[in-house]
A and B are shown apart, each in its own frame.
Chain A
Amino acid sequence: MEILLVIIIGLLYAAGIYMMLRRSLVKLIIGLILLGNGANLLIFLLGKIVKGKPPIIEETEKMLGELYADPVPQALILTAIVISFGLQAFAIILIKRAYKVVKTDDLDEMNATDEDL
């Protein structure tokens, strides 16, 4: 399981960076999304995967007896997902707006900021 996850994470990072290096804006956003997913899986992997119970203490007991899963990574991933949901929604609207204003999808043509005004 770990090996599989490691390979997937590596692929996601590689694909994400490859997409980010393309000139198209849409591919840039897709690259960012892939990178974000890779990072989320990395947290999941490094939080140590165990076949344990959920970390909820039964009403009859005082503390966790058996092997239990670490609750922190899932909280971190959930937070990261919520944040990336917002950021990606913003980024998509931004490229849509950019396409309307600049009328191109090519990053190389976006050099109005370098003009000497």
Chain B
Amino acid sequence: MKTLIFKTASAYLLPLLLLFSVFILLRGHYLPGGGFVGGLMAAIAFVIHSFANGIERTKNIVKFHPGFLMPVGLLLALLAGALPLLFGETFMTGLWMKQAVPVIGSVGTALFFDTGVYLVVIGVTLTIIFTISEGL
């Protein structure tokens, strides 16, 4: 799709959608949302961009191979899950900071776990999409 309107809009949509995906990620603890949905949304932002500008341009924006996000996200989620073991709690127990951080709210291991999921989902989805669209 090489229409001027879509092309222009996609340039603005990409940062907006990415910002919105982070918002979805952060509100996910008590409200609908979370790492998986947020990650998918961020991936969709790149997909829209690639529809408008071609897959090569999108790859240039991402700069590094999206597959690299997978181990980073997995490691983050793993560490968030395994951290309670050091405090004598069981695997995956939520640890929370005593005092709330301004703007974000109280920070716990669940946030890092969700961020890990977010990164893994972006990495996996973009890898799949880039791989499929290569042969088309």
Asked if chains A and B are in direct contact (CB within 8 A), the reply is yes
Task: Give the residues in chain A near B131, CB-CB below 8 Å.
Answer: 93
A52 adjacent to chain B (CB < 8 Å)? no
- How many Å lie between the Cα of A72 and that of B100 in the bound state? 29
A22 adjacent to chain B (CB < 8 Å)? no
12 A-B residue pairs with CB within 8 Å: A56-B30, A78-B36, A82-B36, A86-B124, A89-B128, A92-B132, A93-B128, A93-B131, A93-B132, A96-B132, A96-B135, A100-B135
Interface residues of A (CB under 8 A from B): 56, 78, 82, 86, 89, 92-93, 96, 100
Q: Shortest Cβ distance from A88 into chain B, in angstroms? A: 10
Interface of B, helix, strand, loop or mixed by DSSP: helix
Task: Give the residues in chain B near A56, CB-CB below 8 Å.
Answer: 30
Q: A56-B30, A82-B36, A93-B128 are in contact. List 9 more A-B contacts (CB 8 A).
A: A78-B36, A86-B124, A89-B128, A92-B132, A93-B131, A93-B132, A96-B132, A96-B135, A100-B135
- How many Å lie between the Cα of A78 and that of B30 in the bound state? 16
Interface residues of B in 116-132 (CB under 8 A from A): 124, 128, 131-132
Task: Give the residues in chain A near B132, CB-CB below 8 Å.
Answer: 92-93, 96
Task: Give the residues in chain B near A86, CB-CB below 8 Å.
Answer: 124
Task: Give the residues in chain A near B124, CB-CB below 8 Å.
Answer: 86
Task: Give the residues in chain A near B36, CB-CB below 8 Å.
Answer: 78, 82
Q: Shortest Cβ distance from A93 into chain B, in angstroms? A: 7
Give me the 10 closest cross-chain CB pairs, A-B, nearest first.
A89-B128, A82-B36, A93-B132, A93-B131, A96-B135, A56-B30, A93-B128, A96-B132, A86-B124, A92-B132
Q: Shortest Cβ distance from B44 into chain A, in angstroms? A: 13
- How many Å lie between the Cα of A82 and that of B117 in the bound state? 12
- How many Å lie between the Cα of A1 and that of B36 in the bound state? 29
Task: Give the residues in chain B near A82, CB-CB below 8 Å.
Answer: 36
Task: Give the residues in chain B near A100, CB-CB below 8 Å.
Answer: 135
Task: Give the residues in chain B near A78, CB-CB below 8 Å.
Answer: 36
| Closest A residue by C-beta to B121 | A82
Q: Shortest Cβ distance from A26 into chain B, in angstroms? A: 15
Q: Shortest Cβ distance from B81 into chain A, in angstroms? A: 16
- How many Å lie between the Cα of A92 and that of B133 in the bound state? 13
Task: Give the residues in chain A near B30, CB-CB below 8 Å.
Answer: 56
